[in-house]
Amino acid sequence: MARLLLVDDEPNFRRPLRRALERAGHEVLEASNVAAAREVLATTPVEVILCDVNMPGDSGLELVRSVVTNAPDTAIVMLTGVDDPKVADEALAIGAYGYMVKPIGGNETRIMVAASLRHRELELARRHYVEELESKIVSRTAALRDALEQLELTEATVRDAERDAVDRLVAALTIRSEETGAHIRRVGRFCAMLARLAGLRRWSEDEIYLAAMLHDVGKIGVPDSILLKPGPLDADEREIIERHSDLGNRMLANGRSPVLILGAEIALSHHERWDGSGYPNGLAHDEIPIIGRIAAIGDVFDALTSNRVYHRALPLSEASDHMRAEAGRQFDPDLLDLFLSATEQLEAIRSANPDPL
């Protein structure tokens, strides 16, 4: 099960506790004081320490401080014969997980050890998440920076550099298995098509195409364990993934080119809903930028018609029916009607940008 260290100056206390823990399948090491405990820890890592507070020599609280600094993956439970709230508060404040008052039974101790191991598991998972997040941001931001540098171009050179920019964007933004380079290109093409049908002339089709491919750039800040989860997300996971809209906006908002400025607007607004129930700002109707309403349609359509970890691709007719049911709730109904009426163009875009086998 786990390796434990029992630190207490009373052999008659340690002996029955050790037997109870060993019957539960744990390996139990012993130390009679803090100095002896440090000697054990210098050569043998343990998952949980059960430590008396008052012993000859250094206090158990001193051991807690050193373990928290030098072995932060270890869970610590304090044991004491005196129920002193001040000592308990101090122990918990400096990093102990639990606090038990003697006399302590074997079952009580086994339960506390199981809870401590679970606490340790959750803490290690949290730390792994932070490390993964930092690593992803460093590596993917470097790739993204290369892509964005290609987009910081004058309008006259955008068309000539488009292919290189697309290749760099695909490398930077292919975040999870279903978000292939083909998915990114299709969303860009769907958005450019719908903008043209809607008579949007503020940006060129090339600018809309490239900017729409940046819609999910903020997902570099979401761990793969959430992005790749095949089942439904829990509330905490959903809160984490919803941060990508604001993160993407902040990553792009200070760009100098029209593509980056437009990309920031798309990243921020493409999860808003026509009825105001979307995120991050709960905008409704015309409060949502038209480019965000366009991107919402293109992104969802491609999600429905592509294989994902959580569903199989729907035929175009079924995807269209599903989206029409959301007209006036999730989608701008006029834009959705324009989009779904262009059946031949939608099929052509999908055919020209297939997912890899």
pLDDT, residue 334, reads: 97
pLDDT over threshold 80, residue 45: yes
- Cα–Cα distance for residue pair 114/84, rounded to 1 Å: 24
Region 163-169: what's the mean pLDDT?
Answer: 55
pLDDT over threshold 70, residue 175: no
pLDDT in tens, 259-279: 888 999 999 999 999 999 999
Region 183-211: what's the mean pLDDT?
Answer: 93
pLDDT over threshold 60, residue 78: yes
Most confident of the following: 124-128, 163-167, 339-343: 339-343
pLDDT, residue 177, reads: 43
Residues 6+ apart with CB under 8 A from 122: none
Region 317-331: what's the mean pLDDT?
Answer: 96
Q: Which pair of tokens denotes residue 162?
A: 């488009």
Q: Residue 316, Cβ neighbours under 10 Å: how many?
A: 16
Return mean pLDDT, the chain: 83
Region 116-143: what's the mean pLDDT?
Answer: 69
Region 200-209: what's the mean pLDDT?
Answer: 91
pLDDT over threshold 90, residue 59: no
Largest CA distance in the chain: 85
Comma-separated ranges of CATH 3.40.50.2300 domains in the chain? 3-122
Q: Which CATH superfamily is domain 152-352 in?
A: Hypothetical protein af1432 (1.10.3210.10)
Phi, psi of 134 (to 5 degrees): -60, -40
Cα–Cα distances (Å) from 86 to 49, 89, 92, 153, 263, in that order, read 21, 5, 10, 63, 54
Helix or strand run (H / E) with residue 48? strand 48-52
pLDDT, residue 155, reads: 47
Region 68-76: what's the mean pLDDT?
Answer: 84
Comma-separated ranges of CATH 1.10.3210.10 domains in the chain? 152-352
Region 147-175: what's the mean pLDDT?
Answer: 54
Residues 6+ apart with CB under 8 A from 33: 7, 9, 55, 56, 57, 58
pLDDT, residue 69, reads: 81
pLDDT, residue 160, reads: 55
Q: Would you identify the CATH topology of the domain 3-122? A: Rossmann fold (3.40.50)
Query: Which is higher by pLDDT, 129 or 40?
Result: 40
What confidence tier does 135 reach under pLDDT thresholds 50, 70, 90?
A: low
- Cα–Cα distance for residue pair 256/262, rounded to 1 Å: 10
pLDDT over threshold 60, residue 174: no
Region 331-345: what's the mean pLDDT?
Answer: 97
Region 54-62: what's the mean pLDDT?
Answer: 87
Q: Sheet harboring 48-52: ordered strands across? A: 27-31, 3-7, 48-52, 75-80, 98-101
pLDDT, residue 216, reads: 87
What confidence tier does 125 reach under pLDDT thresholds 50, 70, 90?
A: confident
pLDDT, residue 227, reads: 74
Q: Report the sign of the C-alpha dihedral through residues 296, 301, 304, 308, in that order.
A: negative
Q: Report the sign of the C-alpha dihedral through residues 277, 278, 282, 283, in that order.
A: negative
Cα–Cα distances (Å) from 203 to 81, 200, 256, 258, 261, in that order, read 74, 7, 15, 8, 11
Region 60-77: what's the mean pLDDT?
Answer: 86
pLDDT over threshold 90, residue 287: yes
Q: Above pLDDT 70, what percent of the chain?
A: 83
pLDDT, residue 88, reads: 81
pLDDT over threshold 70, residue 130: no
pLDDT, residue 129, reads: 67
Lowest mean pLDDT among 3-17, 36-50, 131-145, 241-255: 131-145
pLDDT over threshold 70, residue 145: no
